[in-house]
Structure 1
Amino acid sequence: MIQSMTGYGKTVLQISTKKITIELKSLNSKNLDLNVRIPPYYREKELDIRKKLATTLVRGKVDFSIFIENNEGEASSKINEIVVKEYMNQLKTIVDSNEIELLKMAIRLPDSLKTEREELDENEWEQIENSINETIHKINKYRIDEGVSMQTDFNLRISLIEELLEKVIEIDPKRIAHVKEKIQKSIAELETKIDESRFEQELIYYIEKLDITEEKVRLKNHLDYFKKELQKTTSNGKKLGFITQEIGREINTIGSKSNFADMQKLVVQMKDELEKIKEQNLNIL
């Protein structure tokens, strides 16, 4: 079953005084383009997160974020009392001011505030890791659901190309007759004698050059192959892309050989449906 590279997953976790939000988004990309944003005290787990995401999401432009909200509003920075008092003592020797003014000046000076680094709690991380797994599950479900819709559209487009191919097969004898008639009419307009035997040989040679039997067979095989790939349990957008290229090659060859307006119209319609498939296929995992 095919999967889309587009997906979204979000999980909110409440731990003690913390509200932790884990968010995962993905868009289409030729390879895995991974962007991870996490708080500094989880940095030691970043490599594990990247490995997990690379293994489960495989391909796409992926943004992973962990947001922390302290419910009690605890400040991450605290006043460095020793440094501030030392600044105030020094300021007293050079300015004549009261304690409040000295404090205002001291608090603006370097190292007046200190940031306490929160250490990683392994029990807390275990809960976060479970939430990460849940978020990955959500984005994968999103991708699968998107894939189901895209598969329905692919089957519709392939069916339309098959119908157009049947019409090409149906009018092909008429096309050959039209080409023969056109050549014979051009010869007649020259009002000159020709070797009928030689003319017939040249005509057969020319008609053989316009023969599209092989292209019709190969195109039908490629369309069947595409449909079989859609039914497989694994999603392989790159392989579907290769098959799409082969389908396009056969359609183009039929168009270049057609030399018949009715058939060229059908070829244009096939190309239109194929372009829609190509555009959709860019988003397949």
Structure 2
Amino acid sequence: MLRSMTGFGRCEEVIEGFSIQVQIKSVNHRYSDFTIKTPRFYTFLEDKLRTLAMNSIARGKVEILLNLEKQASDDKVITLDRSAAEGYMNALRLLTEYGLKDDLTLSSMTDFHDIFRIEYKETDEAHLSELVAGVFQKALEEFSQMRCTEGARLEQSLRQHLSALLHEVEAVEIRSPQCVEAYRQRLRTKLQEVLSETSVDENRILTEAALFADKTAVDEETVRLRSHIAAFETAMQTQQPIGKKLDFIVQEMNREANTIGSKGNDMEIAAHVVEMKSIIEKIREQIQNIE
């Protein structure tokens, strides 16, 4: 089963006072490349997310975005700095000696912000990491489903291309022996024209035709090309990432097509080779997006 390197998944949940949103998106890439973005106070989650991603995604340029907010306020503890408050009160009482009339009130004391201390409860990083991992897995499921859906579409298209390529191979296999026979007939006709009053040496014609057949034979190339097509179809059934393997097989297909083109020595075979190379190029373009 093929998996595309293009995918997108997103999940958002509110758990235990945390609003957690995870977004995963990827595009094709020659290797694996992960970018993790987290809020400034939660960078300790990057390694966890990277490990989870690498366990499930073998190839592609992947971006993971984490948005995390603490909604509840029970993690804040506000305390009074008594020493600082008493210091301000004593100083204000001294100011009354200069004839200031304003009374000392509670509201006036709140203007002195440093008499209050705001302390935050420590975050249980291990527990929060597990909460985020749960949301990540749900986003990953959506992400993986999209990649599988796109992979199935690619597989269907690739099978159509392989069928068309096999049709061209069969056409070359039929045409190749016809070329030898056509060459033998042309050679006989030419010799008869030159040696109009002398009998044509059939053995010489057969020898020349055999040499031509040996020079232009593409049997080995078509057999190998058939083998590559079969190997490609088999590889598509595996559950493992096979994008690089398919790329190698396509290179071998192209090599055999080029050899057939150089040995064919026939306009009809040349036309089939052009079509082969066009199909192989379409296959090559599509497998660039396969994991």
Same fold (TM over 0.5): yes
In the alignment, is the contact (CA less than 8 A) between 1:255 and 1:267 conserved in 2? yes
Residue of structure 2 in register with 1:233 after alignment: 239
Which residue is 1:283 aligned to? Answer: 289
Q: Is the aligned partner of 1:142 residue 2:142?
A: no
Q: What secondary structure, in the 3-state scheme, does the structure 2 residue paired with 1:9 have? A: strand
* Matches of 1:219 and 1:274, distance apart in 2: 11
The equivalent residue for 1:250 is 256
Give the Cα–Cα distance (whole angstroms) in 1 for the partners of residues 220 and 121 of structure 2: 70
Q: Is the 8 A contact 1:7 1:26 kept in 2?
A: yes
Task: Say how many residue pairs are matched.
Answer: 245
SS of the residue corresponding to residue 145 of structure 1 reads helix
Deviation at 1:118, TM superposition (A): 8.8
2:66 aligns with: 66
Structure 1 CA distance, aligned partners of 2:32 and 2:123? 28
**2:14 is the alignment partner of 1:10:** no
1:45 aligns with 2:49: no
Structure 1 residues not aligned, in runs of 5+: 73-81, 83-115
- Indicate conservation of the 8 Å contact 2:184/2:209, yes or no: yes
Report percent identity of matched pairs: 30
Provide the C-alpha distance between the structure 2 equivalents of 1:201 and 1:176, rounded to a whole number of angstroms: 12
Cα deviation 1:208-248 (Å, max 9, x = unaligned): 01011111111111111111111223231111111111111
Contact 2:180 2:212 in 1 (8 A): no
Aligned partner of 1:7: which letter? G
Question: Could you tell me how far apart the structure 1 residues matched to 2:253 and 2:17 are?
Answer: 59
Distance in 2 between the 1:257 and 1:128 partners? 61
**Contact 1:13/1:128 (8 A) holds in 2:** no
Q: What code does the residue aligned with 1:269 have?
A: E
Q: Following the alignment from structure 1 to structure 2, what is the Cα–Cα distance between the partners of residues 21 and 281? A: 32
Q: CA deviation at 1:135?
A: 1.2
- One-letter amino acid of the counterpart of residue 42, structure 2: Y
Structure 1 counterpart SS, 2:34: strand
Contact 1:35 1:62 in 2 (8 A): yes
2:23 equivalent to 1:23: yes
Distance 1:167 1:157 in 2: 15
| TM-score, normalisation: structure 1 | 0.75
In structure 2, what is the equivalent of residue 178 of structure 1?
182
Hey, what does 2:267 align to over in structure 1?
A: 261
TM-score by length of 2: 0.74
Q: In angstroms, what is the RMSD of aligned CA positions? A: 3.1
Contact 2:188 2:205 in 1 (8 A): no
Q: Provide the C-alpha distance between the structure 2 equivalents of 1:161 and 1:66, rounded to a whole number of angstroms.
A: 46
Structure 1's 232 and 15: CA in aligned 2 closer, same or farther, altered over 3 A?
closer
Given that 2:34 and 2:61 are in contact with CA atoms closer than 8 Å, whether structure 1 keeps it comes out as yes
> Is the Cα–Cα contact under 8 Å of residues 35 and 64 in structure 2 kept in the other structure?
yes
**Is the partner of 2:64 in helix, strand or coil?**
strand
Q: Which runs of 5+ in 2 are unaligned?
A: 73-83, 85-118
User: Which residue, out of 158, 165, 168, partners 2:169?
Assistant: 165
Structure 2 counterpart of 1:93: none
Question: Which amino acid in the other structure matches residue 251 of structure 2?
Answer: Q
Q: Secondary structure at the match of 2:2?
A: coil
Q: CA deviation at 1:117?
A: 8.7
**Counterparts of 1:117 and 1:266 in 2: how far apart (Å)?**
74
Q: 1:201 deviation in Å?
A: 3.3
Q: Secondary structure at the match of 1:58?
A: coil
> Secondary structure at the residue paired with 1:11?
strand
Query: What SS does the aligned partner of 2:268 have?
Result: helix
What is the Cα deviation at residue 158 of structure 1?
Answer: 0.5
Aligned 8 A contact 1:42 1:120 in 2: no
Flag the structure with larger Rg. Answer: 2
The residue type equivalent to 2:37 in the other structure is R
Distance 1:17 1:52 in 2: 23
The 3-state SS of whatever aligns with 1:22 is strand
